[in-house]
A and B are shown apart, each in its own frame.
With several copies, the nearest count.
Chain A
Amino acid sequence: MPEVTMVQGLNAALRHCLREDPKVLVFGEDVGKLGGVFRVTDGLQAEFGPDRVFDTPLAESAIVGFGVGLALAGWRPVVEMQFDGFSYPALDQVISHVAKYRYRSRGQLRVPMVIRIPFGGGIRGVEHHSESPEVYYTHTAGLKVVVPSTPLDAFQLLLTSVREPDPVIFLEPKSRYWAKESGDLVPAGEPLGVARVRREGTHCTLVSWGGMVSRCLEAAEAAAEDGVELEVLDLRSLVPMDTEALLRSARKTGRVVVVHEAPLTSGFGGEVAARVMEGAFDHLQAPVLRVTGYDTPYPPALLEDHYLPSVDRILLAVDRVLRY
């Protein structure tokens, strides 16, 4: 089986969507001739022409707002925010319009738009290039929020997201852009809202998404050497969230640690913890713990290893819940 990177998986998904649906448009800053700063849109303008794949002026609010207008006119915009840290100027359009249009028009109008955002740290990025903004979106009712962690998932989930009739925020973990996976890029009709157990275990569940899933797997690997079997659950989509799978694992292991890059306070880990408590309280042997970025701005690259959840920090939390 061929090996693909996440960038290739995403590129293949976009190509597939542009082919299967003439209404799909891909645009954003530098996505045309350059093929995107991460090359996710590489070759698409050459294949589909500048009417369907094009560069925009440097203005994120208008990129999304223009996309809303195109969607209202029957198109399916797939737009790129160049980096997490530059997605914020579009928040007003996302919160006030993308998320609300179907509702406020009583279903007369739809905005089946995908907003792709390379996100997260761990790539030695300079300031504003390593942010984890998922909560701004998960808390905005009316949006779906999808976060793949592997190349094949990136392919399948982006495909589904573009086909989805509702707006989707699609968060691409930059630290996994060049990770490889073996498999064929064949559309499988993967639904949103299905978590995946990446590793089975019995002592404690690690819950994560995006770039931190592989970190959890590393931690599980390390723990296994000490005879501790960690289950690793990859949420894959935060809205909808596969609460059933989460609770199944929590009930099985009785111990849960959530891991994410974003700051602790009001991070999505709080939502996970609350749902575990609501649905599996009687099975919990210990409180759900959160291993996350600290409540500080994302630090300079030279210090990011102190900020991002490390294998050590994860194992420390596991240790705490196991000894509880």
Chain B
Amino acid sequence: MGQAEPFAVLGPEGEVLDRRTLEGLGLEAGQLRDLYRFLVLARRADAEAVALQRQGYLAVYGPARGQEAAAVGSAYALRPDDFVFPTYREIGAVIVRGVDVAQFLMYFKGAWHGGEHDVLKHRFGLVTVPVATHIPHAVGYAVGCRLEGRDCCTLAYFGDGATSKGDFHEGLNFAGVFRAPVIFFCQNNRWAISVPLHQQTAGPIWRRAEGYGFPGVLVDGNDVLAVYAVTREAAARARHEHTPTLIEALTYRMGAHTTADDDTRYRPAEELEEWARRDPIERFRRFLEREELADPEFFEAAAAEAETFVAGVREAVIGAGPKDVTALFDLVFENPTPELLAQRREALALAEEPVPDA
């Protein structure tokens, strides 16, 4: 049932804690370097999103700085045919799944709800903001796949705050009863806006899994390899045994809750400093260096790649405009109601646009 100390593969300085565990991951050097690339891309894209918001190109953005290893490590453990239900703070998973980042950011631009990315191609769901409401969706989706006899699994991301919600509980209980091939991935970043963990709950999150009849795992969320390891195991359990897993990844939200938040009002500076020393990317970089898996050129190339990458994102975000007014009406129903069609005519007449057929 897991352990009270979070599972880790790497020590704070990137040192390998147990070589057998490392080797058991079966990751080749190229894959390990890819993980690093993803971490760097995630951080850089995140910073760019913050910048875009400051410059007025996004309405708001929820920075994921400090949480890259949790998102990247978990997403990297999935197969392309697995399905992911995100919240809004998993840009690392967005990147690993190959989702178009600018399209994803359209949620934050207020261009379209949920983002404009191709959900079915990347099997990466819509941005979901009503906290924890997507957890039962993930369970239903997972059971839907199981009923079709497919061996894919479904992963839902959520935060520590989400564990207080009824939908978290009801979803996990359903998962146990219906043997859903699902992974509940909690990014415990210690804050829900201004509410610290100890005011969110008085008990250990990962231990709750037992009450639903499936395993719970506590993992060092700033150790990308540990996150990868536990997620891969959970995915195997889901695929082959139809057993759900609750993963609690201990990490830390280095930024404000969103660009609209002022975290200095509630967060002690020392806490930030302490967690800055536990930076997940730095730690993984040291590991690659220690193990001589990457040279300085690699690190430079990764940084350069990230710059090129965000330049494209930036351009696409800035260039994107609002959808056509027709979208307001045409996307509601597949069989629109007469009421709505009448409203559509009225609105388009007002928008002084030619009225295309519905």
Contact = CB atoms under 8 A, between A and B. Distances in A.
* Chains A and B in contact, CB within 8 Å: yes
A240 B110 contact: no
Contacts of A299: 328
B116 interface: yes
Contacts of A301: 59, 109-110
Contacts of B107: 126-127
A35 B340 contact: no
B316 interface: no
- Pick the 4 closest A-B CB pairs, nearest first: A69-B140, A301-B110, A65-B136, A73-B144
A158 to B, nearest CB: 16
Contact of B59 (A56, A69, A124): A124
Interface in A107-129: 107-110, 124-128
Contacts of A68: 136-137, 140
A55 B166 contact: no
A307 interface: yes
B352 to A, nearest CB: 10
Interface stretch (A91-99, A179-187, A202-210): A91-99
13 contacts: A32-B194, A65-B137, A70-B140, A105-B114, A107-B331, A108-B120, A127-B113, A128-B129, A240-B339, A295-B339, A300-B322, A301-B110, A306-B325
B335 A66 contact: no
B331 A102 contact: yes
B113 to A, nearest CB: 4
B113 A103 contact: yes
A104 interface: yes
Given A102-B333, A108-B118, 18 more contacts: A56-B195, A58-B161, A65-B136, A72-B140, A89-B165, A92-B130, A93-B133, A125-B59, A126-B59, A126-B60, A127-B127, A166-B333, A240-B337, A300-B111, A301-B110, A302-B109, A302-B322, A303-B327
A35 B170 contact: no
A312 interface: yes
Given A30-B194, A59-B173, A109 B119 contact: yes
B331 A106 contact: yes
B174 A144 contact: no
Interface in B129-149: 129-131, 133, 135-145, 147-148
Contacts of A125: 59, 110
Interface stretch (B37-45, B237-245, B343-351): B343-351
Nearest to B330: A107
Given A105-B126, A124-B110, A296 B164 contact: no
B347 A306 contact: yes
* Interface size, A (range): 35 or more
Contacts of A61: 136, 166-167, 170
Contacts of B260: 37
Given A102-B332, A166-B333, A243-B339, A85 B161 contact: no
Given A103-B113, A110-B334, A128-B130, A241 B323 contact: no
Among A71, A100, A300, A306, chain B packs the most CB atoms within 10 A around the CB of A300
A67 interface: yes
B23 to A, nearest CB: 36
A73 B328 contact: no
Interface of A: 29-30, 32-35, 37, 51, 55-59, 61-62, 64-75, 77, 85-86, 88-89, 92-93, 96-97, 100, 102-110, 124-128, 141-142, 144, 164-166, 192-193, 239-241, 243, 264-265, 294-297, 299-303, 306-307, 310, 312-313, 316
Given A58-B131, A66-B136, A239 B147 contact: no
Among B133, B148, B200, B327, chain A packs the most CB atoms within 10 A around the CB of B133
Interface string B302-341: 0000000000000000000111010111011111011110
B17 to A, nearest CB: 34
B324 to A, nearest CB: 9
A34 B113 CA distance: 27
Interface string B53-70: 000000110000000000
B119 A108 contact: yes
A29 B167 CA distance: 17
B243 to A, nearest CB: 18
B194 A300 contact: no
Contacts of B165: 58-59, 89
Contact of A193 (B161, B201, B338): B338
